[in-house]
Amino acid sequence: MFCDYHIHSTCSGDGLSAMQEQIQASLDKGVGKLCFTEHVDIGIVGDKFDTDLDLYARTFEEAKRAFPKLPLFMGLELGYVRKDVPGLQARCARLPLDFHLLSIHLVNGIDPFDVDIFFNNKSREQAAVEYLQAVLESVREYPDYDAVAHIGYVFKFTGDRFPPLRYEDAPELMDEILKTIIQRGKALELNTSRWNGQGMPGQDVFRRYKELGGELVTLGSDSHRINTVANGFAQATELLKSLGFGYLATYEKRRLVMEKL
Ligand SMILES: [Zn+2]
Ligand SMILES: [Zn+2]
């Protein structure tokens, strides 16, 4: 049984499949425990990533009724920007959330998804450092999260121009981030949305996390449509086991529940 703690539905502005379609597709792929993490990204212009929370609550309740036996949980993916912290917390307070997933989509106000803008006149090293500084600020400053999403997002959309982020790109910053996550009892997400034998972050980062004493790992497909649910999960599970992780971290009403890998 897989546990997916990062999945979107059409409640998110960029979601392409309805919640119940996402659930059925996940069940078909062997997912037995599922937590939706719709976007709250107040800083991204145009409201597209600021989920309608009433719609989310209604859609979630309907899904629970349609799949009464499935352990189904409600989370939010919180796009950190320092000035938006009060707004993020206010939104969290409006829902009976199981899980808070902290993420960085904006680096100095720009989403690396906008490759031509973000990477204009920027070296790989500059991009990596700017991004990791934003991640470090988020894990230090955001007061109330359970796990940290997709470290490596900065190079998610750069293809061959810039291969995935590696520990060696900025070991000191990486260590600061990992140590903060560990000291605060938070989890590191293995995101499989760009699975290529490893996910985000890569196995080098998970190896270092383990070395530093990290134990809590969540698994997330970050799927926005039915054809990417549980992407890479079988391989991701084997990878985590090979690195010495025996359990996945899951959250129910914000309480940590460990599930055997
Ligand atoms: Zn994200
Ligand atoms: Zn996501």
Domain boundaries, the chain: 2-260
Q: In this structure, what are the phi and psi dihedrals at residue 142, rounded to the nearest 5 degrees?
A: -75, 125
Mean pLDDT on 58-69: 97
| The predicted structure's pLDDT at residue 80 | 97
User: What's the CA-to-centroid distance between 222 and ligand 1, angstroms?
Assistant: 7
User: What's the CA-to-centroid distance between 191 and ligand 1, angstroms?
Assistant: 9
| 124-141 helix and 171-183 helix, angle to the nearest 10 degrees | 20
The Cα 195–Cα 22 span in angstroms is: 19
Mean pLDDT on 121-145: 97
Look at residue 208 and tell me whether its pLDDT is greater than 80: yes
Better-predicted residue by pLDDT, 1 or 177: 177
Per-residue tokens: 122: 């920027």
User: What's the CA-to-centroid distance between 229 and ligand 2, angstroms?
Assistant: 12
For residue 248, the SS3 value is strand
| The predicted structure's pLDDT at residue 44 | 80
Q: Looking at the domain covering 2-260, what would its CATH class be?
A: alpha beta
| The predicted structure's pLDDT at residue 48 | 79
User: What's the CA-to-centroid distance between 149 and ligand 1, angstroms?
Assistant: 7
| 19-28 helix and 53-66 helix, angle to the nearest 10 degrees | 40
| The predicted structure's pLDDT at residue 146 | 98
User: What's the CA-to-centroid distance between 189 and ligand 1, angstroms?
Assistant: 11
Q: 259: Cβ–Cβ under 8 A, 6 or more apart, which residues?
A: 1, 3, 33, 247, 248, 250
- Name residue, tokens 């989310």: 56
The Cα 217–Cα 25 span in angstroms is: 23
Mean pLDDT on 143-159: 96
User: What's the CA-to-centroid distance between 194 and ligand 2, angstroms?
Assistant: 12
Provide, rounded to the nearest whole percent, the portion of the chain with pLDDT above 90. 97
Mean pLDDT on 127-154: 98
Is the peptide bond prior to 86 cis by the omega test (within 30 degrees of 0)?
no
What single DSSP character describes residue 35? E
pLDDT, tens only, 160-169: 899 999 999 9
User: What's the CA-to-centroid distance between 153 and ligand 1, angstroms?
Assistant: 8
SS3 content of the chain, % helix, strand, coil (to 5): 40, 20, 40
pLDDT, tens only, 36-50: 999 999 978 776 799
Reported pTM:
0.97
User: What's the CA-to-centroid distance between 221 and ligand 2, angstroms?
Assistant: 8
Look at residue 182 and tell me whether its pLDDT is greater than 80: yes
